[in-house]
Amino acid sequence: MDLRQLRYFVAVAEEGSITAAARGLHMTQPPLSLAISDLEKDLGVTLFHRLPRGVALTEAGEHLMVAARQLLGDATRTQESMRAMGAGLSGELRIGAEPIGLWSLVSQQVQRFLGEHQDVSVSLVDAPPGRLLDLVTRGEVDLAVIPSAEPDVLTTALTQSLQAAVSVEVPLELVVPRSWTSVGPGPVALSSLLDHPWVLPMRIPGLRILPEALDEVFARAGRRPARVIEASTPHTGLSLVTGGLAVSVLGAGVAEQLTALATVEVEGGLPSLFLVVLWRRDAPLSPVARRFLSSILG
C-alpha cells in the first residue's frame, strides 16, 4: 500500500464511481480499476461493493477511508513543511546582538520577519561584542550583530572562519537622567558634563567600538570624564543613568522609549557607529538564517 493507491481509493470513495474518479484523476478507467483491485489484494479485504451503478464502501472500506484521509493529510502537511523549510520559511533563527544592535536594528527586523514567516521560531542572545564573536565562531548563534566605529578595521581583523557585512549606520545620543533639569534644551559643551560619572562599555582589544568612537570627542573637549564606570555594554549600566547618577551614550531613539532618560545635544555632535553582521564562513547558513541575513542587509 502506498500513497498513490490511497489517493486513488479516496477519489473512488468520494465519487462513488470508478468512471467519475478516473475523470477527476485525469486517467482512464482500466488502470484505476486495476489499482483498486491490487490494493484490495495487498490488504486481503474487499473495499467496495460493486453496484449496478457505481460502488459503495464496505465496512473495511469505511475503516480505511478514515485512516487514508489522515495519512494523506499528514503527507500533505509534511510536504508543505519541507517545502517551506527549503524556502527558508520555517525553522529556528538564532541571533546574537550587542544591545545597540538589538535596539537599533534586530528588534524591528525580527518583528517584521516573524510577521512574514509565522512558522519561524527565534532565540535572541544579547551580549558584549567579544562574547558574540565566540558564540558565532562556535556555531551557537547563526548571526551576530555588533557595533563598530571602524567596520573596515573589524572585517580585516576577523579570523578566516567569519564573514562580515555592514548593515546600517547608527547615530549616537548623549543621555542623562530626566531629573537633571539644569541641563538646558540647546546644545551644551561636552566639558560641562565631564565632571559627572559616565557609564561606558569596556574596551575590547582588537575591536574599535563605542569607547574608541568617543576618544576623538573627549580629545576635542580637552579631557576625559573625571570618572568612568565600565559596563559590559552601554545598556548594562542604564540603571545608574535612570537612577540619577551618571551620563551615558546610546544609539539614537533608545532614550525615547525610556521615560527616565533625556537626550542632550552636544556641541560639535557625536559620531556614529556601524552595525556589522557576522556569520561563519566554514558552515552553511540555514535557509531561515539566509533569508533573515538578506533582509537586514537590504
- Whether residue 292 is contained in a domain is answered as no
Residue 81 and residue 200 share a domain: no
- Whether residue 170 is contained in a domain is answered as yes
Residue 204 and residue 192 share a domain: yes
Residue 244 and residue 108 share a domain: yes
Confidence of residue 101 (pLDDT cuts 50, 70, 90): very high
- Whether residue 290 is contained in a domain is answered as no
Task: Say if CB 262 and CB 180 are below 8 A apart.
Answer: yes
Residue 141 and residue 50 share a domain: no
What is the model's pLDDT at position 156? 67
Q: Which residue has the higher pLDDT, 75 or 174?
A: 174
- Domain hosting 151: range is 90-280
Task: Judge if pTM exceeds 0.85.
Answer: no
Q: What integer is the mean pLDDT of 5-23?
A: 94
Q: Which residue has the higher pLDDT, 153 or 271?
A: 271
**pLDDT over 70 for what percent of the chain?**
95
Determine how β-strand 247-251 pairs with β-strand 162-177: antiparallel
pLDDT at 84 over 70: no
Task: Say if CB 213 and CB 271 are below 8 A apart.
Answer: yes
What is the model's pLDDT at position 16? 94
CATH number at residue 154: 3.40.190.290
What is the model's pLDDT at position 88? 66
Residue 182 and residue 139 share a domain: yes
Closest by Cα among 259, 265, 213 to 234? 213
Neighbours of 58 (CB within 10 A): 15
Round to whole Å and give the CA distance between 77 and 38: 27
C-alpha cell recorded at residue 67: 485512516
What is the model's pLDDT at position 119? 85
**How many separate domains does the chain show?**
2
Residue 148 and residue 76 share a domain: no
Residue 128 and residue 55 share a domain: no
What is the model's pLDDT at position 76? 80
- Final residue of a structural domain among 86, 103, 129: 86
pLDDT at 81 over 70: no
Residue 192 and residue 76 share a domain: no
